[in-house]
Chains A and B, each alone.
Chain A
Amino acid sequence: MRFEYSPAPESRSVVRLRDSYGLFIGGSFVAGSSAFKTISPATEEVLAEVTHAGPEDVDRAVAAARQAYERVWSAMPGRERGKYLFRIARIIQERARELAVLESMDNGKPIRESRDVDVPLAAAHFFYHAGWADKLGYAGFGPSPRPLGVVGQVIPWNFPLLMLAWKVAPALACGNTVVLKPAETTPLTALLFAEICQQADLPPGVVNIVTGDGATGQAVVAHPGVDKVAFTGSTAVGKEIARACAVSGKRVTLELGGKAANVVFDDAPADQAVEGIVNGIFFNQGHVCCAGSRLLVQESVADEVLAALRRRMGTLRLGDPLDKNTDVGAINSRAQLDKISELAGSGEAEGAARWSAPCPLPDRGFWFPPTVFTEVSQAHRIAREEIFGPVLSVLTFRTPAEAVEKANNTPYGLSAGVWTEKGSLILWMASRLRAGVVWANTFNRFDPSSPFGGYKESGFGREGGRHGLEAYLDVVGGGDV
């Protein structure tokens, strides 16, 4: 019997959108020079007008952050800073539904993910780092490690609020102040976070949010008043930032692209491995830097695994991001859709076999069906370049050594997955895979206590856990003795 789920849209009424948003500088929203529009990628409707911060706006933001750093935040005892972070974490929880709906509207991701993953994890990052604020002397960086100063942070559009939390929570816990530039296509939850800072009575200037495009981001990272730069985004931009900061004395941490191998052995827990493959590449429409975009499957089970994968992909529900039953939402922008389409086209042109889940695509907005490429070789572009979309490239291997060799044969090294019931093989693989995170019998699992970051062109520095504090403390100076 056919069992169709009726539409179950989450209500938008919980979100109160303003027509236009200013820049959040020195604790209040201020006007800027020019403006741009942010749209819903699922419908292409304009959601709001947002200010484009120019160099003079960035100047003001950095000055406000410097003043707050020197007069208030760096001098405040850690236990007092911790109270503000706890308060922010609780407000995120209280306003979770509002944040989740707004995130899905602006980003296009399914409400199930923003509700169950992004927003709870964002709150968890603030709770976790609130706990560190008065215990930094026990983090292994000396008895009283000092903050760095003003931190310039540029974040991507794939997890707008969560990436903000990854950046802002440790910076503030360590005693730094922040100038944050959200992504051009997804500024709205950062601006709602600004309201949350006001609601939490966070001292003015501790968090400043400047919206804009790449030029704004460049102005933030190049600003001489910025002591530290933290960036998450593409490897190309990351390299530019590294070059720009190389002679400036600024500290830099970069979290960049990935082309992760998800390695499935013949003794893997079959149904869970298929779930892990699906979760690895179709979670968040594949807009995940650590996405398991290369499936390495042992040749002896390749046919069975692929048949099960196609069957499972047939049940994925693509559509309205606000529908509670949607599994795959909209591609974040037309530019990203064009990039995905171009790379998928190259896969076909280079001789790989394409299969897309038979799901109808909506007429308006930006959409790409969950897609698998088989008969892929290491030389194909779709096996080497980050697609950042719902496109999986499948390769096979015969021995564990071959799996390691293929998995590591990439300029990236952010994450990897290993699927086997054999514990010793998991450990053997994990010690040889050159990736910052190795997941065993799971994929795309995140926790604020677990450090995250890359090898090679996936960047450097870690976020989360005790290791993540290092990026926001003056560990070279050694602090006060």
Chain B
Amino acid sequence: MNVLGAAGDFAASEQSLRRFLHGLPGVDETGARARADALATRSVKADSKRQAIDLAISMIDLTTLEGQDTPGKVRAMCAKARNPGFGAPPVAAVCVYPDLVPVAVAGVAGSPVLVASVATAFPSGRAALDVKLADVKSAVAAGADEVDMVIDRGAFLSGRYALVYEEIAAVRGACGDAHLKVILETGELSTLDNVRRASWLAMLAGADFIKTSTGKVAPAATLPVTLVMLEAVRDFFGAEGRRVGVKAAGGIRTEKDAIRYLVLVNETAGEDWLDPRYFRLGASSLLNDLLMQRERMETGRYSGPDYMTVD
């Protein structure tokens, strides 16, 4: 199956795109949930837990996306991203609004931590295309390594797949060398069939990552949704030979949650995806719980939230 060979046709033809997406195998919701529930019972202990905690930390996009964000808060977050403390490795990236990208770039300078910026009228995605592109260009110009865009869910749900495709492709073009993460906002897609179609649509249009959620809509990341997205990147790799990453974002707060996602990656897409280049956890409070568990594994006791920094 060489679907990308026909990608040009997709852009030209709403119908060929629809035919392709609706020809993907269906997802049985009950079965997908049962599989996600079964994998959630995996028991990760001892050395494997130690390994998983550090892997999870290295996959975090440490995030702050609030109207009340300040340069000071972003600087504090960058400091923590570079050195979370307790001997833990740095996180993968910091994720901020476009206007705070320069602060973040300065904050992580000289470290391996990347700067990701949300763009394209985050979180609703409701703006004209040229406004969205300007948003992306400003973030990239300010030094963002990664751009997290949102898709037009209204267009997707009404079946205007070509519009969504063209928008993603245009943003991809505006990103230049920056990596593109495409947020599907699965909480608004309502079915797992839609999640699979949106995943393929984003990958065909050039996404480097597909991402579950903005974090502003409930439910955000869930295990069944992430399962379906991992199956999609696995199948896309099999068909096209291009490895697309997955980012689970929102609602992942505890070490237990994080390890469940790693198990899901391990047993669905496989160990090649267990790499910060191909799997990310978008989170803010998760890091502290991971650090607390990490410390417990080393010292045999919990210190408590007072010993973890708030930003």
| Given the contacts A1-B55, A1-B271, A270-B25, A6 and B45 also touching, CB distance less than 8 Å | yes
- Residue A4 interfacial (CB < 8 Å): yes
Which residues of B are in contact with A by a Cβ distance under 8 Å?
25-28, 30-32, 34-35, 41-49, 51-52, 55, 231, 262-263, 266-267, 271, 274-275
A324 pairs with B27, CB closer than 8 A = no
A1 pairs with B28, CB closer than 8 A = no
Our count of residue pairs bridging A and B at CB distance below 8 angstroms stands at 73
A272 to B266, CA, bound (A): 18
B274 pairs with A325, CB closer than 8 A = no
Residue of A nearest to B231 (CB): A271
Q: Among B30, B43, B46, B267, which residue has its beta carbon within 8 angstroms of that of A441? A: B30
The smallest beta-carbon distance between B155 and chain A, in angstroms, is: 25
A-B contact pairs, 26 of them (CB 8 A): A1-B271, A3-B55, A3-B262, A3-B266, A5-B43, A5-B45, A5-B48, A6-B45, A8-B43, A112-B41, A116-B41, A268-B25, A268-B26, A269-B25, A269-B28, A269-B31, A270-B26, A271-B35, A271-B231, A272-B32, A272-B35, A324-B42, A421-B28, A441-B30, A442-B30, A442-B31
- Residue A2 interfacial (CB < 8 Å): yes
Question: Which of the listed residues A5, A267, A276 has the most CB atoms from chain B within 10 Å of its own CB?
Answer: A5
- Residue A315 interfacial (CB < 8 Å): yes
- Residue A275 interfacial (CB < 8 Å): yes
Question: Which of the listed residues A1, A8, A275 has the most CB atoms from chain B within 10 Å of its own CB?
Answer: A1
Could you tell me the dominant secondary structure of chain B's interface residues? Answer: helix
Contact residues in A for B275 (Cβ distance below 8 Å)? 1
The smallest beta-carbon distance between B74 and chain A, in angstroms, is: 30
A2 pairs with B271, CB closer than 8 A = yes
The smallest beta-carbon distance between A125 and chain B, in angstroms, is: 21
A6 pairs with B49, CB closer than 8 A = yes
A315 pairs with B267, CB closer than 8 A = yes
A325 to B35, CA, bound (A): 14
B266 pairs with A275, CB closer than 8 A = no
A275 pairs with B41, CB closer than 8 A = no
B25 pairs with A271, CB closer than 8 A = yes
A442 to B28, CA, bound (A): 9
Q: Among B28, B43, B55, B274, which residue has its beta carbon within 8 angstroms of that of A272? A: B28
Per the CB 8 Å criterion, the residue count for chain A at the interface is 24
A116 to B43, CA, bound (A): 14
Contact residues in B for A6 (Cβ distance below 8 Å)? 44-49
Contact residues in B for A324 (Cβ distance below 8 Å)? 41-43
A116 to B28, CA, bound (A): 22
Within 8 A of B (CB), among A423-473: 441-442
B42 pairs with A272, CB closer than 8 A = no
A421 pairs with B26, CB closer than 8 A = yes
Contact residues in B for A421 (Cβ distance below 8 Å)? 26, 28
Contact residues in A for B27 (Cβ distance below 8 Å)? 269, 271-272
Within 8 A of B (CB), among A255-311: 267-272, 275-276
A3 pairs with B48, CB closer than 8 A = yes
The smallest beta-carbon distance between B280 and chain A, in angstroms, is: 14
A271 to B29, CA, bound (A): 11
Contact residues in B for A2 (Cβ distance below 8 Å)? 271, 274
Contact residues in A for B55 (Cβ distance below 8 Å)? 1, 3
A3 pairs with B271, CB closer than 8 A = yes
Contact residues in A for B28 (Cβ distance below 8 Å)? 269, 272, 421, 441
A275 to B28, CA, bound (A): 11
List the 8 shortest-distance A-B pairs measured between CB atoms, nearest first: A272-B31, A270-B25, A8-B43, A269-B28, A324-B43, A272-B28, A6-B46, A6-B48
Residue of A nearest to B47 (CB): A6
Contact residues in A for B30 (Cβ distance below 8 Å)? 441-442
Q: A1-33: contact bitstring with B at CB < 8 Å (1 yes, 0 no)?
A: 111111110000000000000000000000000
The smallest beta-carbon distance between A8 and chain B, in angstroms, is: 4
Question: Which of the listed residues A116, A268, A272, A325 has the most CB atoms from chain B within 10 Å of its own CB?
Answer: A272
Contact residues in B for A5 (Cβ distance below 8 Å)? 42-45, 48
